[in-house]
Each structure stands twice: as structure tokens, then as C-alpha cells.
Amino acid sequence: MNLESFSNELLLDLFEYLPVVYLLRAFNDLNFRFNNLILIHFQRFDLNFRSISQYDFKIICRQYLPAIADCISFLTLSNDDDTPQQIDLFLEHGLIISQFINLKSLSLCDLCSDEIMIKMMLEWKYLVNLTHLTLAGCYLKFDQINAQRLIDSIWNLSKLIYCYLNISFNENNILVPTVMSSSLKYVFIWGIEHCQNEINALFKQTPCLQYFSILLNIDSNDNNDVEYPFLSITKLKFYLSRIQEDRIIKFLQNMPNLYQLIIDICSLDQDYTNAILNGCQWKKIIRNNLPNLHIFRFRMEFQLTNENNREQQIDELINSFQSSFWIKEHNWFIQCHWHSINSSSSIYLYTLPYSFDDFNFNYSMKFKSTYPNNNNNNYMHYNHVHSLKYDMSSIEEVFSSSIQFFNLQTLFVKFPVNDHFWSLIPKFNQLISLIISINDDNNIQSQLQFLLDHTPCLYSLSFSSCSSTFLPQILSFEFRNKSIRRLDLRGYDQYFTDEQCLILSHSSLGIQCEILFIKIQNYQILLDILNNMINLRTLIIQCENDKFNETNNDELIVWLKDHLPSTCVISRDLIFYCDIRIWIR
């Protein structure tokens, strides 16, 4: 049987599993039918370049994109550490965003160049079909004028429905539009805390807004409340660094049609006596202001202003969520956990099921909940957690808990671990990223080896803290897992010597590595690293003998460009100046 005999539907299903460069190399220009299927595929799926080799990206930009640009619907470009200077390279090939005339979704990640962002602003106004725009992890030095132009250019996009903005400015400029969007329904703004007067302005300029998510600054000195009912908003998510009941009421009372409310609160300043709202206060807020609320999720981190009778105060707080309003009317349950020994540590209160992506398991924790004890499915309450930080000494007491995490993708763990760790996380089959900190490197090799042997999908391995005595043990590990492609060794407490660099470059882990973060004593060893690590495509280095000064010529960059292959894309990180980023192949 040959591919020509497959139905179009089956071929399109097959295309979903192929990296874009393989798809184009294998099927482009075979015949009219395959060319048409490729175009249909790119109208349905994201052309995502967030993890691609420089060589493949250049081929696509040079040979394929100019011909198919007007058929692409979803495009993602990124200047992150995996693909540094990718957006610059895209532009160097003569490509411009306005060529993608049928683009519906555009994502630009880690763009830190003011000049390129201005180019993008001027180009995306021609994307008449654009409905989704994402600007993620962008650090800019815009002044107030250019910051205003940026936000207004977005609100001027006539068909834009969804907008995600995570932008930081040099002068802490606030993203508040001065023009009205008649199309935007979903807006997510992170990176800068907004006051209520700024929220007012944004609401006025976004009259069709339905789902809104933002970092909110509720300041008692800010008297600019939401000024009129905003009936279109049905879903709201916001993060608060402090909480005050009267300000919360004034903010929510003009959103009577809220169906879903998600709040993340970190209130750790003991100067605020009203650090947390109890169940009676929340009941009053919801009863009086949110008659249509069906989904209510919150997470609150706080400290008690008076540590006397700590558990009694916690019991009183939990009991305030035991009324029929919570249990019978809405079937809303809460849980509280805290450090049983350290009385000055944070207390966490949250709704069940736990609805946030991350969870910190920090010490000997005690749990109390309003959830019925006769239910034996506590593990289901944490199915949404994909990122876990586990920080517990092997000698600490662990209170009995049925909490388990089955869907982890990212894990931060301090070694050594105790037996509780293995019961908390019964399986690691979905784990993609592992960050390791080592407090005591005695007798932990077997623990770490066992963990690595049970992570079949592990892609990224990082060491946030690692002593010099443990480095040889790491390199001597038997890495049976061939999926590890990203290695971050910046947690090693010294710069790697030439000898250590050579050992790494000849190790099985070094040879399979594609993306490497490392601190080195001598940058001349890079030539050997590149020759030995044949699969390495991106290298991020910090160099001990780097003499960088913003007022002088960048001698290290000059040396690298003179001695490394001309195909390497070499740049100094615009935010973290000590990092040199090299996109090798």
C-alpha cells in the first residue's frame, strides 16, 4: 500500500504527527493533491517554531514560507532560550507579518527588541482576519508614547477576539487603551499590576468583554471604583497582593452577570489586619452582588496577625465555610493547610477541587477541610496541578494525607527525599521538566537514579543547587532515558573548568543534549564543546572571564563571532547581561 491510496482525511491525520520541516520536505511539490493537503493542514494547525533547529528554521523561511504565507492561519515565533534571535532571523529572510494575509492567530514570545516590536505594530494592522494575539514574556524599553501606541494598535484590530499580554516596560507603563474595540471578548493582562481607575478605562474601551484576567492592585487610597454596571463580563480571574472587603465589594458589585470567578490572593503583610475574608464575608459578597455566580474558585496565602491559639483560629476560619450556603446550595468545599511546627509560616486556604496549576508542598503540613470524610477521592482534587515544588527534609514529620499528584509535568524537588515523596507522586510518566536542588549529597545517588529511571517523557533536567562534590556523580549516572534533551547546569556552585567541560561533552547525557545552560571558566573551551556535543543546537553560557561593560565593545561577542562557525547566531541576553546565547544549528 502506498500513500497515494490513503484518503485525504487519513493523510491530514498523519500530518498532525510530523514536524513541519519533515512534512514540507517529504510532501511539498510531489503533486497538486499533496500541495493542497499541506495548505489545508496549515489553515487548521499552528505553525509553531518554539522548538526548532536553526538549520530547519532557515530552510522553512527560505524555501517554503514565501510560497505558503497567504495560506497560514496560526503562527508562533519565539526569541526564548531554545530559539534565540528567531524573530530577528525571520525578518532577515525578508519575511514580514503582513504577508500572512489570512493569519487568524499570531503569537510572539520573548521579544525584547523595541525596534522589532514597532515593526510588528506597523504590520499587524494589515492582518484583517486576525482574531487572536499573544505577546508573552516581552520586555521593552518603550517610553509612555510608544507604550500607548502599542496598546492602541491592538485595540484597533477590527476582528480581534482574544488578547494575551505579558509585557514589562522599562518605565512601568500601564496598558490602558484610548481607543475602543468592538470585537475583544477575552483579555488576559499580566506583568503589570493595574489599579481600579485603569480597569475602568479598559472596561470602557472594551464593551464586548466577557472573560477578563488581570493583576489587580486594590489600594485603599484609590477611590476610582468601577463606575457603571458591566453586564457582558461572565468570567473573571484576578490576582491580588492584598485584600480589603469594601474594595472587593465595590469592584464586583457592577458585574452582576458573573458566572465564574477565580481569585488568587497572596496577603502576607502583617500590617493589614484584615488579611483574609472568612466564609461569612464571602457569602455576603456573593449573595448581595453576584446572583448568577455558579463557579467560585480561590486560593489565599496569608499569615495570622496573632499567632496565639493558631489552630483554634484556623478551625474558626474553616467553620465559617460550613454553612448550608457553601455545602448544600453550591456544593463548594474548602481546604486549609499549614506548617505544623513553624508558627510564622504561611497558611493556605483554597477551594476544592484545587483549580490552580502550581502547588507548594513545603514542610510538615497539616490539612483540614470541609470536604466529607467519607469520600475517598482526595487525589482527584489535585488533578489540575501540573507544577509541584516539593521541599521537605527527610527527617521532618509528615502527617497522614491522601493527597496525590497524578498529572505533574514540572517538578522541583530537594534531595534527599523521604518515603512520603514516593507516595505523594505515585507515577512520573507525564513529567517533562525536573528541577533538582541538593541539600546533602550523601547517599542520594540511588534516589535520583530511581527517579530518572521512571520519567520516560523527561525532556528538561535542571539543577538549581548542586555542590562541586556532586558533579562527578551526575556525569557518571546511567541515563537510560534518552528523552532528555535540555540540560541546565547553572545551579552548580562553581564555574566549570576545562576538564569538567570535556567530561560533560563526552558523557552520554552531553552527547544527547540539544540545549545546554552552563557556567564556564574559559570561553575558549567552547570550540571543544561544540565539536564533541554533536546534537547541541542551542548553548547558553555564563563566562567567568567575561569583561562585559555596556560602555565598551563586547569583547566576548567579538571573539565568539571570530572563532565559531559563521552559521551560529550569537547574542547577549538583553535582560540578563551575563548570559550569552548561541543558536548553533
How many residues can be counted in the chain?
585
In this prediction, residue 272 carries a pLDDT of 45
CA distance 445 to 447: 5
Three cell numbers written together for 33? 493533491
- HSE-CB at 215 with a 13 A cutoff on CA atoms is 15
Distance (Å, rounded) from C-alpha 368 to C-alpha 507? 48
The rounded radius of gyration (Å) of the Cα atoms in the chain is 27
Query: 538-543 and 580-583: which strand pairing?
Result: antiparallel
Is the pLDDT reported for residue 219 higher than 70? no
Q: Quick check: 363 and 341 in contact, CB under 8 A?
A: yes
Q: Tell me the torsion sign for CA atoms 30, 32, 35, 40.
A: negative
CA–CA separation, 296 vs 277, rounded Å?
14
Lowest mean pLDDT among 278-292, 334-348, 446-460, 521-535: 334-348
Determine how many CB atoms are found less than 10 A away from the CB of residue 74: 18
Find where cell 574559559 sits.
522
Residue 173 has pLDDT above 70, yes or no: no
What is the C-alpha to C-alpha distance for residues 193 and 187, in angstroms, rounded to an integer?
15
Amino acid type, 265 = I
Angle at 111 between CA 139 and CA 187, to 5 degrees: 75
E strand residue ranges, 69-131: 74-78, 105-109
Name the band, by pLDDT with cuts 50, 70 and 90, for residue 400.
low
Q: Burial, 350: exposed, middle or buried (Cβ in 10 Å; 0-12, 13-18, 19+)?
A: buried
What confidence tier does 95 reach under pLDDT thresholds 50, 70, 90?
very high
* Angle at 251 (CA atoms; ends 248, 252), nearest 5 degrees: 85
Rounded distance between C-alpha atoms, residue 422 and residue 376, angstroms: 19
Residue 264, helix vs strand vs coil: strand
What pLDDT digit, counting tens, does each position of 42-92 carry? Answer: 767 678 898 899 998 998 899 888 888 888 999 999 999 999 999 999 999
What are the residue ranges of helices labelled H in 109-204? Answer: 114-123, 144-155, 196-204
Separation CA 527–CA 537 (nearest Å): 14
Q: How would residue 520 be classed by pLDDT, with cut points 50, 70 and 90? A: very high
How far apart, in whole angstroms, are the C-alpha atoms of residue 81 and residue 448? 26
CA 251 to chain centroid: 28
Exposure b/e, 311-336, CB count within 10 A at least 16 = b: eeebeebbebbeeebbeeeeebbbbb
Predicted TM-score of the model (pTM): 0.88
CA distances from 585 to 25, 53, 75, 517 (A): 18, 6, 22, 16
Other CB atoms within 10 Å distance of the CB of residue 575: 10
Alpha carbon distance 123, 146 (integer Å): 15
Where do we find the cell 514597532?
118
Task: Quote the pLDDT of residue 168.
Answer: 86
Cell numbers for 296, please give them: 467560585
Return the pLDDT at 223. Answer: 58
Top mean-pLDDT range of 108-117, 438-447, 486-495, 573-582? 108-117
Q: Which residues contact 186 (CB under 8 A, 6 or more apart)?
A: 161, 162, 163, 210, 211
In the sheet that 486-488 helps form, which strands lie side by side, from edge to edge? 358-361, 387-390, 410-415, 433-438, 460-465, 486-488, 515-520, 538-543, 580-583, 569-572
- pLDDT above 70 covers a percentage of the chain that reads 88
Q: How far is CA 408 from CA 264, 349, 376, in A?
A: 21, 21, 21
d(C-alpha 107, C-alpha 166), whole Å: 12
Are 283 and 323 spatial neighbours (Cβ–Cβ below 8 Å)? yes
Residues 6+ apart with CB under 8 A from 89: 54, 57, 58, 61, 569
Q: Per-residue pLDDT tens for 4-21?
A: 777 877 877 777 777 777
- Rounded to whole angstroms, the Cα distance separating 296 from 98 reads 42
Which helix (H) or strand (E) segment holds residue 87: the answer is helix 86-92
- The whole-number pLDDT of residue 364 equals 74
Give the pLDDT of residue 273: 46
Cα distance between residue 459 and residue 482, in whole Å: 9
At 395 the pLDDT is 52
Least confident of 363-377, 454-468, 516-530: 363-377
Average pLDDT of the residues of the chain: 85
**217 forms bridges with which residues in the sheet?**
195
